[in-house]
Structure 1
Amino acid sequence: MNYSMIRYILFRLFRIMGFLLMLPFFVAIIHKEYDSAESFFLLIVITLVVGILGSVKKPKSTVIYAKEGFAITALAWIFMSMLGAVPFVMTGTIPNYIDALFETISGFTTTGGSILTSVDGIEYSVQFWRTFTHWIGGMGVLVFLIAVIPMVDGYSMHLMRAESPGPVVGKIVPKVKDTAKILYQIYIAITLLEIICLIITGMPIYDAVTITFSTVGTGGFSVNNAGIGGYSIASQVVITVFMALCGVNFTVYYFLINRKPKEAFAVDEVKYYFATMFIAACLISINVYKAGIITDGMLSFHHSLFAVTSVMTTTGFGTLDFDKWPMFSKMILCLLSLVGACAGSTGGGFKFSRAIIVIRNARNELNYLVHPKSVKRVYMDGHTVEGTTVKSVSAYLGLYVVTFMVSCVLVALDNFDFQTTVTSVAATINNIGPGLGMVGPMGNYSEFSVLSKLVLMFDMLAGRLELLPILIFMNPKTWEK
């Protein structure tokens, strides 16, 4: 284990956090929130000083193998969350540190579940930081680190693989650093485009920026109690479009930018993603319309598509309280939340690529039982999926199920109703935010015990990092020399 390299990268992360905290500091100055500005400034100074002093000496060995990559990723997200919670406590927005940590982890992991019973009246700078955590966590802070800091390219891939969502992470260009830069350029371009589109629809500039952070990061924090339902239909349409776009593998956009439409449209995952989204929206729209909940057909489809897109991309926004919809609609939404978005996107969940691999592998196993001499392979995008990838997806599914069950048992100690208990775990481990019951679109996590909050925080981190970094970090053998 290269401890000196772990130390070096973590202190470099502190420096980056110091610079990121400057944005809410400037927002506080603009809106004359001087007490909050003082808190942000103090934190900026501390993080920069600690980060600079801790990373002055570069390690002799810059070698990072897989276990260092997983350990650094887990530690980075834990320290980042612990540090990011401090502004909430210092400004008095969330005095309890555990609650502040829950809110911050929910932000960075783009879960969007909140312990706040009301967000109206929170200072502009704090709201900005709260939604900005979604944007930071959406693409991943270590991907940003790779993009801006010189590192040994062959070893930095271990960091990118540990942080990026999906069963397979590869380089879209020869160098990992250049790959990270391209991903962030696309990410920033989509962010700016949505801000402009929302301003055109009449949304105030501050709201457009903060809501975009939540949308592009597929997080779900809103800046007022009315949520997205308080904005115009035009704004809701724009948000729907960008939620859907940010649930797509960003590699597809690279292909489109470089005029490679065949490669872009050959991705099986994206085809199934949009087809499922449209079919589910139609089914729910019909169900909600026939139930008399929404009497206008077009509005029924609009709100259904918004809910489906929000749940599939694990954003967690809501225009209406879908917890009051018929059971058929709620069941579809629950199933979609488990699958999630595409690999390589900012969305969470099990991922469509994994679901496709699991289904096709199961089909092959059934065919093998009927025809033992036949040789079947799992294909995606016209290529054979390697056996190691199929094996890792199966292992991930097993770990996912075990983590889900253990979490449900622990959260059940709070003695809440079944749907609240189960969907709270599902909503956090899949980084969705809202579930059903007490944690529905209009609910929150404030009533959960400290133990349950700790379990759900673990689930949020495990879900965002896709289990392995957190579980490997917790394994004592990882830290053996």
Structure 2
Amino acid sequence: MDRHILFYLVGRLILVNGLSLIIPLTAGLLWGERGLLYFGPSLMAAVALSAFCLYRGRHHKRQVGAGEGAWYMVLVWLILSLLGMLPYVMAGVFTSPADAFFESVSAFTTTGTSVLSDGGAALPSSLLLWHSLMGWLGGLNFILMLVSVMPLVSGCFGLTLSVHQSVSFSPMVASMQESARKVSCIYLVITMFSVCLYWLAGLSPTAAVNQGLMTLSTSGGDSLFDFLRYDSRALEGAGALSMLLASGNFLLYWKVWERRSLKIFLHDAELRYFFIMFLSVSAVVSFHLWHYGIY
């Protein structure tokens, strides 16, 4: 196994996700919070660890094997979770580091559970933004692995994802970066579209951003992001449309954009079956809720 390429990939992952700490750090300063005290040290730690990993991986071959891909998929979530818990620990939000780690793991894996009874309503606004941003980054990282690293290691487990390949298949780093770039652009555009929908539906800009980040990650689960208390048809419609877009195939979106043809949607078998299942199950659940007088 080539450890150099593993250090290189992990170092880039830490750098990209670590630099995202600048967003809540800047927001905290603008909102008059003490974000510099807990985001500042976390940012420096992330940059230092990234520099170390990139230095160790500077002599890597621009090719990734199945072993390196498998180890990368294992290390991603552990490293991101440790990185994400640092602002919580620095801010003293939780009484135990284990709680901070749990909250970080939940966000980055887009699980949606929380040890906070109020879903984070008592958190400073900058920490709440970091919580939403971690979920957003977790969803993006999962999609990036799905289109770049997952096909590489799938043959090792007897799985086939989108194309047939052997265990010896080793993609070039450049091709992995190209797939990641396409998916990231689509992910960002849909996020911005979702945020605009929530803002037009009546949410404040800050709430719209938090809601958009959480929706695109498809994590959900936090009571703080529940629509029930708003009783707004416009907001529910914006959420439904955003969730449908977030659950689609991002590479299909890119294909439609490149070819400028909506016919690709109509001819995609995966999308057709998805909508059949979605409409069928939604009809059953809706009828059940209406029949028992819940809605």
Please classify the TM superposition score into its range, dividing by the shorter chain length.
0.7 to 0.9
Q: CA 1:14/1:141 → structure 2, altered by over 3 Å: closer, same or farther?
A: farther
How do 1:336-375 residues align onto structure 2 when only pairs under 5 Å count?
Answer: none
How far apart, CA to CA, are the structure 1 residues paired with 2:24 and 2:162?
32
For normalisation by structure 2, the TM-score amounts to 0.85
Q: Residues 55 and 255 of structure 1: is their aligned pair in 2 closer, same or farther, counting only changes over 3 Å?
A: closer
Per the TM alignment, residue 227 of structure 1 is displaced from its structure 2 partner at its CA by: 2.1
* Partner SS, residue 85 of structure 1: helix
Residue 245 and residue 161 in structure 1: after superposition, are their counterparts in 2 closer, same or farther (change >3 A)? farther
The residue number in structure 1 matching 2:220 is: 220
Name the TM-score, length of structure 1 as normaliser.
0.53
| Contact preservation (8 Å) 1:85, 1:103 | yes
Which amino acid is 1:97 matched to?
A: P
Give the aligned partner of residue 278 of structure 2. Answer: 277
Q: Is the 8 A contact 2:227 2:236 kept in 1?
A: yes
The equivalent residue for 1:100 is 100
**Counterpart of 2:41?**
42
Who is 1:357 aligned against? none
Structure 2 residue 135 is the aligned partner of structure 1 residue 134: yes
Task: Give the SS at the match of 1:191.
Answer: helix
The aligned counterpart of 1:235 is: 235
The 5 Å alignment of 1:425-464 reads: none
Residues 57-456 of structure 1 aligned to structure 2 (within 5 Å):
57=56, 58-118=58-118, 119-140=120-141, 143=144, 157-158=148-149, 161=152, 167-169=160-162, 175-220=175-220, 222=222, 224=224, 227-231=226-230, 232-257=232-257, 258-294=259-295
SS at match of 2:121: coil
Change (3 A) 1:275 1:141: closer
Query: In structure 2, do the counterparts of structure 1 residues 245 and 221 end up closer, same or farther at CA, with 3 Å as the change threshold?
Result: same
Partner of 1:56: 55
Deviations 1:176-197 (A, max 9, x none): 3222211111111111111111
CA RMSD of aligned residues (A): 2.6
**3-state secondary structure, aligned to 1:230:** coil
Q: Which amino acid aligns with 2:123?
A: I
Name the counterpart of 1:13: 13
Larger Rg, first or second structure (1 or 2): 1
More off after superposition, 264-273 vs 127-136: 264-273
State the Cα deviation string for residues 269-293 of structure 1 (Å, max 9, x = none).
Answer: 2112111221222222222222222
Q: 8 Å contact 1:131–1:221 — kept in the other structure?
A: no
Shift of 1:40: 0.5
How many pairs does the alignment contain?
277
Q: What percentage of aligned pairs have identical amino acids?
A: 23
Deviation (angstroms), 1:18:
2.4
Q: Deviations over 1:379-437 (max 9, x none)?
A: xxxxxxxxxxxxxxxxxxxxxxxxxxxxxxxxxxxxxxxxxxxxxxxxxxxxxxxxxxx
For structure 2, list consecutive stretches of 5 or more residues without a partner in the other structure: 164-170
CA distance change for structure 1 residues 218 and 176 in 2, over 3 Å: closer, same or farther?
Answer: same
- Does structure 2 conserve the Cα–Cα contact (< 8 Å) formed by 1:255 and 1:261? no
Amino acid aligned to 1:120 = A
Which letter does structure 2 place at the counterpart of 1:47? A
Moved over 3 A (4+): 60-63, 141-144, 156-163, 260-263
- Structure 1 unpaired stretches of 5+: 145-155, 295-481
Q: Tell me the amino acid that sits aligned with residue 204 of structure 2.
A: P
